[in-house]
Structures are given as structure tokens and as C-alpha cells.
């Protein structure tokens, strides 16, 4: 959207330090400096452009200078002034932009679609946080989220949506203590504290999303095996959770979208971000792939709580099987399911007592689907909850 920012208050609010950081992070170099201002140039372009930046926002006409600078940047970067101003303001955040193309008037979307998209985005970010929290790579991420991931989620912000067509912006703060620095500026960095984990999450989000995008495209090209391209990438960080989130973000109508990433200006990352464009077909494939992974790959280390509803012992030495009607830890009460598992003799006796006394039991294992049944494989820690 091509609009000029001329609101003096908004422009006045952007400190020289923020703008300086943005410029230097985008390859602008100081070519001249006096007591009042800097001149900066982008030296690597064929026809260098110069911008002037006052060192002090108390100078008269400061908003006008910032407006002029935005105009030049918008032309050089071929981006909207609003987008550039946003990044200048949030220079201490990694920014993920989700731009979707719903039907209807630009800048609007159906309420129901918006709800789905936001739910999908939340799961998407959580999948990245979970991935960054552990070295373990599993097709299905643990239901109980690591503490680091839940703490991280509390810091993630959503910005005011932008028009064009409909843009949700997720912001992850990278610097602790980032604030308006006093002059003179210690350029180009800041004396802040770099939040390594938060950056790990955003880069994990980018790389895993790229993996999912690549897997979907690979399937669409040869259409032989849906599972293979996705399973192959699990070891690198792809998961059913990620695929489900990306599918949900498109909503039931599989609204196409693109995801773009940018790193905090003063903390460039070694990964070069790129725009990932998901069409309706890719979104549908991601949904199917997530289901396939759920059906074929174990969900590791799940603790189930519930009541013993079935006891099967065909002979004294034969396998001893039970069914628990219950749910995994951390799942809401209305999602009770049946879980099958095998126990040793001692545990089987405990299960019989729990059944007779109508007491709840607890056990941990890997959930594996066999036909329509969910089996808890490698079960351990079977106990009665008092």
C-alpha cells in the first residue's frame, strides 16, 4: 500500500538511534557527520543515494526530516513507508509477517477465518518454541510444552493488522532492556542483552517452515508418497504440529498466504530470510501430511490418566492387556479417548484393583496408532492415583 506518513507526532516519536540502527543494518554507511546530523549512503548501489539524519530529535523540523528519509527509503527498498516505519520502531524485535489473500475487500477477512488464522499462528509459533527448546526431533511434539516454550509464548506480541491484503504481524523481542539510547549513540550496536533463546525460536520457525514448504512442494511435484518427503525432514525439525498449524492458518477455505521473516535490525542473523508462499494446494497437502504423521509416527513420552475400563487376560502366561478411558496430561476433559496397553502381572493386578475400587490410574508411554486403536507402547510408571 503506497501511503505517505506525515503524522508529525508519529514521526517525532522515532528516535535517531532507532533510525540509525535501521539504516546501518540495511547497508547505509556514514559518509559525513557534524554536530547536528549524519549523512549516510548506500554505497553498494550503482547510483548512490544520500539521506540526512539529525542526531537529536529535539531539533526543529525533526518530523519533516524523518518524513523525507522515509520517502527515500520507500523508493530505495520498494516497500511501503508504513512497513519501514514499523520496523524502525520495533528494531529490537524479530518480525514474522503473515500475509493472506482472502476473498472480498482488501484489508478485510471473514471473522471466522480470522479466528482460525490466529489459532493457527499461535500453534505455529508454539511449534517453533517447542522445537528450539529441545534437541529431540520427533514427528509429533510433546503435549506438555517445555517451560522455556511457555515462557517464550508470554513474550510474543501481535501488532495491529495491516492492509494489503490482510497482514498479521507477529513480533518476538530479541533484546532485553532495549530502550532509547542517550546521545551520542554508540553505533551500530546497543548495550542491551541479547536473548539467544528467542532468536533460536525465530530461526527455528523459519527453517522448519521452509522444510514444510519444501516437503509440500516435493509431494506436489511427484505425487507418489505423501509421507516420505515429510518423514525425511522430521530429523531436521519438521513436525505434525507445525504442519497442522500452517494448515489451520489457511482456514477451512485454504486461503493462500505468504510468510516473511525479518531479524531485529541490530542483531542480524546468519540465516537469510526469504518469503515463503503457500498456495491452496500446499496448505491442503500440509493438512493431509499432518494427519499421516499422526497416524503413523509415535507420539513419545505421553502420560495418560484415566479409568481402567477393560481387562483382558487370555491365559496365565499370555499378554495382559487393559484399556484406559482417559486423556493425556495437559488436554482438556472433553477429549477423553481409549488407550490400549500391555502390562506385566504385577501391574495387571494393580489395574484390577483400580478397576474394582473405581480409582484413576496413571501411565506413561509412546502413543502409536494401529488401525483405529491408540496403543501406549513401551508403557512405564503404571500407578494408581490415590
- Which residues lie near other proteins (CB under 8 A)? 4, 6, 8, 11, 31-32, 34-37, 39, 41, 48, 50, 52, 54-56, 59-61, 63-65, 67-68
Residue with cell 554507511: 29
Q: Would you tell me how many other CB atoms lie within 10 Å of the CB of residue 10?
A: 14
Minimum Å distance from CB 289 to other proteins? 50
> Pick from 344, 348, 341: which is nearest to 323 by CA?
341
Instruction: Report DSSP letters for 76-138, one per residue.
Output: HHTS-HHHHHHHHHTTTEEEEEEEE--SSSTT---HHHHHHHHHHHHHHHHHHHHHHH-S---
Peptide bond into 20 cis (omega under 30): no
- Shortest distance (Å) from residue 50 CB to other proteins: 4
| Helical segments of the chain, H only | 8-12, 16-25, 62-77, 81-89, 111-133, 147-155, 196-222, 227-232, 240-249, 280-296, 345-357
Minimum distance from CB of 45 to other proteins (Å)? 13
Min separation Cβ 74 and other proteins, Å: 13
The CA distances from residue 163 to 124, 225, 338, in Å, are 22, 38, 46
CB of 53 to other proteins, least distance (A): 8
Q: Which residue's CB is nearer to other proteins, number 56 or number 383?
A: 56
Closer Cβ to other proteins, 64 or 296, answer by number:
64
By beta-carbon proximity to other proteins, the closer residue of 67 and 138 is 67
Looking at beta carbons only, is 29 or 77 nearer to other proteins? Answer: 29
Find the shortest distance in angstroms from Cβ 181 to other proteins: 19
Rounded to an integer, what distance in angstroms lies between the CA atom of residue 46 and that of residue 30? 17
Distance CA 60, CA 291 (A): 61
- Residue number with CB closer to other proteins (39 or 227): 39
Which grid cell is 33? Answer: 557527520
Query: Residue 34 CB, nearest distance to other proteins (Å)?
Result: 6
Q: Which is nearer to other proteins, 105 or 183 (by Cβ)?
A: 183
Nearer to other proteins, 9 or 222 (CB): 9
Residues 291, 356: contact at Cβ < 8 Å?
no
Beta-bridged to residue 261, according to DSSP, are 96
Minimum distance of other proteins from residue 39's CB (angstroms): 4
When the beta carbons of 27 and 268 are compared against other proteins, the nearer one is 27
Question: What does each C-alpha distance from 369 to 189, 209, 255, 293, 313 come to in angstroms?
Answer: 52, 26, 31, 10, 22
Amino acid at each position: 500500500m503506497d501511503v505517505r506518513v506525515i503524522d508529525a507526532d508519529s514521526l517525532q516519536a522515532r528516535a535517531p538511534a532507532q533510525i540509525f540502527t535501521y539504516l546501518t543494518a540495511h547497508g547505509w554507511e556514514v559518509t559525513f557527520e557534524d554536530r547536528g546530523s549524519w549523512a549516510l549512503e548506500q554505497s553498494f548501489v550503482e547510483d548512490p543515494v544520500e539521506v540526512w539524519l539529525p542526531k537529536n530529535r529535539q531539533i526543529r523540523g525533526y518530523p519533516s526530516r524523518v518524513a523525507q528519509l522515509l520517502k527515500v527509503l520507500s523508493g530505495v527498498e520498494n516497500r511501503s513507508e508504513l512497513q519501514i516505519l514499523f520496523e524502525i520502531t520495533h528494531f529490537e524485535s524479530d518480525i514474522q509477517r503473515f500475509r493472506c489473500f482472502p476473498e472480498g475487500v482488501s484489508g478485510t477477512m471473514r471473522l471466522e477465518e480470522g479466528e482460525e488464522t490466529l489459532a493457527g499462528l499461535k500453534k505455529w509459533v508454539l511449534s517453533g518454541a517447542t522445537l528450539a527448546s529441545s534437541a529431540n526431533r520427533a514427528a509429533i511434539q510433546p503435549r506438555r510444552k517445555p517451560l522455556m516454550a511457555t515462557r517464550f509464548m508470554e513474550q510474543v506480541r501481535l501488532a495491529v493488522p495491516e492492509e494489503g491484503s490482510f497482514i498479521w504481524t507477529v513480533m518476538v523481542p530479541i533484546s532485553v532492556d532495549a530502550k532509547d539510547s542517550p546521545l551520542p549513540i554508540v553505533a551500530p550496536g546497543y548495550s542491551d542483552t541479547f536473548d539467544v533463546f528467542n532468536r533460536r525460536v525465530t530461526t527455528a520457525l523459519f527453517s522448519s517452515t521452509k522444510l514444510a514448504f519444501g516437503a509440500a512442494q516435493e509431494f506436489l511435484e511427484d505425487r507418489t508418497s505423501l509421507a516420505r518427503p515429510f518423514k525425511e525432514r522430521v530429523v531436521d525439525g519438521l513436525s505434525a504440529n507445525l504442519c497442522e498449524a500452517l494448515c489451520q492458518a489457511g482456514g477451512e477455505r485454504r486461503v493462500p498466504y505468504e510468510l516473511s521473516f525479518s531479524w531485529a535490525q541490530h542483531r542480524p542473523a546468519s540465516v537469510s530470510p526469504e518469503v515463503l508462499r503457500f498456495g491452496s494446494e500446499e496448505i491442503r497437502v500440509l493438512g493431509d501430511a499432518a494427519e499421516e504423521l499422526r497416524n503413523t509416527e509415535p507420539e513419545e513420552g505421553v502420560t495418560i490418566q484415566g479409568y481402567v475400563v477393560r481387562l483382558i487376560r487370555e491365559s496365565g502366561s499370555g499378554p495382559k492387556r487393559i484399556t484406559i478411558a482417559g486423556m493425556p496430561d495437559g488436554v482438556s476433559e472433553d477429549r477423553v479417548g481409549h488407550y490400549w496397553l500391555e502390562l506385566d502381572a504385577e501391574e495387571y493386578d494393580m489395574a484390577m484393583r483400580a478397576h474394582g475400587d473405581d480409582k484413576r490410574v496413571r501411565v506413561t508411554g509412546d502413543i502409536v496408532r494401529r488401525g483405529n486403536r491408540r496403543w501406549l507402547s513401551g508403557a512405564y510408571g503404571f500407578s494408581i492415583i490415590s
